[in-house]
Amino acid sequence: MNSTAKFIILLGPPGAGKGTQAKILHQRFGMVHVASGDLFRENIAKQTPLGVLAKSFMDKGELVPDDVTVRMVMERIAKPDCARGVVFDGFPRTDAQAQALDAALARENKKIGAVLWVNVRDQELVARLSARWICSLDGAVYNLITNPPRVAGKCDLDDSSLVQRDDDKPAAVQRRLQVFNNQTKPLLEYYRAAGLVHEIQGEQPIDRVQADIVRVAEKL
Ligand code: ADP
Ligand code: ADP
């Protein structure tokens, strides 16, 4: 992929494979991966005030309020590495967040190049989330059924133990799917109006999804 700055949003429900795909884009092409959920989890691990606040919403499957979320992501994208472009994963999730992102990029004469709508049916999402395990150290994502680690319970990259996310328990999963449909899915219309949406068939093997994403990204 060429080196012009690309700002790409992976938009899709919880479990669609956004984090998996963004991490591969980072490994293969060095694209900077900005995942609001990962930023919150880092704050929770360090027990910062933001982490304590965020956890109270995340455990219930609710969205963290826009003001704190936007501030955290804006601080991240102000760092020099992001000038080369970013893959956004899990952000924006509301209209207010999308508008804040557009405004911040416009101030730097930049804009979103593409919104990749990763489409996966609800029953598949529930199955994926109930079998998702992540590395306790670096957040690498595995799946007990579709994408298992080489050694059971251990991260392939650093041998740390794998854990299940508190919000991947069934009650929170149902709420997160509702929240996605009510608050995040409407963003598709916002970005369709700007002509930015490309649909990616998310129910394919991980490498096929990656190939479809790269095909779109290469044209930007
Ligand atoms: P998201 O970031 O969209 O919530 P993840 O990347 O964490 O999604 O993936 C959710 C779960 O599904 C993980 O356990 C992951 O290993 C698995 N997964 C990701 N992509 C695929 C795929 N194309 N097919 C099957 N399972 C997948
Ligand atoms: P997933 O892709 O599986 O939904 P994430 O790691 O992106 O998981 O998000 C986990 C939780 O973190 C969300 O359910 C929500 O509570 C919080 N969160 C992450 N990103 C945002 C955001 N952009 N706005 C508000 N809350 C967020």
User: For the segment 23-34, what is each residue's pLDDT rounded down to a tens digit?
Assistant: 999 999 999 999
Take residue 67 and report the two structure tokens written for it.
């003001």
User: For the segment 45-95, what is each residue's pLDDT rounded down to a tens digit?
Assistant: 999 999 999 999 999 999 999 999 999 999 999 999 998 899 999 999 999
Nearest CA to ligand 2 atom 3: 14
CB of 20 shorter than 6 A to ligand 1: yes
Identify the CATH assignment for 6-121+184-219 out of 1.10.1530.10, 3.40.50.2300, 3.40.50.300, 3.50.50.60. Answer: 3.40.50.300
Find the 90 Cα to ligand 2 centroid distance in Å: 6
φ/ψ of 83, rounded to 5, equals -60, -25
Nearest CA to ligand 2 atom 9: 37
176 is catalytic: yes
Find the 137 Cα to ligand 2 centroid distance in Å: 19
CA–CA gap between residue 114 and residue 196 (Å, rounded): 5
Edge-first strand listing for the sheet containing 141-143: 141-143, 132-135, 162-163
Question: Domain extents for the chain?
Answer: 6-121+184-219
Tokens 């991966």 -> residue: 33
CA–CA gap between residue 60 and residue 130 (Å, rounded): 16
Nearest CA to ligand 2 atom 12: 37
Residues 6+ apart with CB under 8 A from 157: 135, 138, 140
pTM of the model: 0.96
How far is the CA of 181 from the CAs of 24, 94, 119, 146, 218, in angstroms?
Answer: 26, 11, 12, 25, 29
Find the 100 Cα to ligand 1 centroid distance in Å: 28
* Residues in the chain where the model's pLDDT stays below 70: 1-4
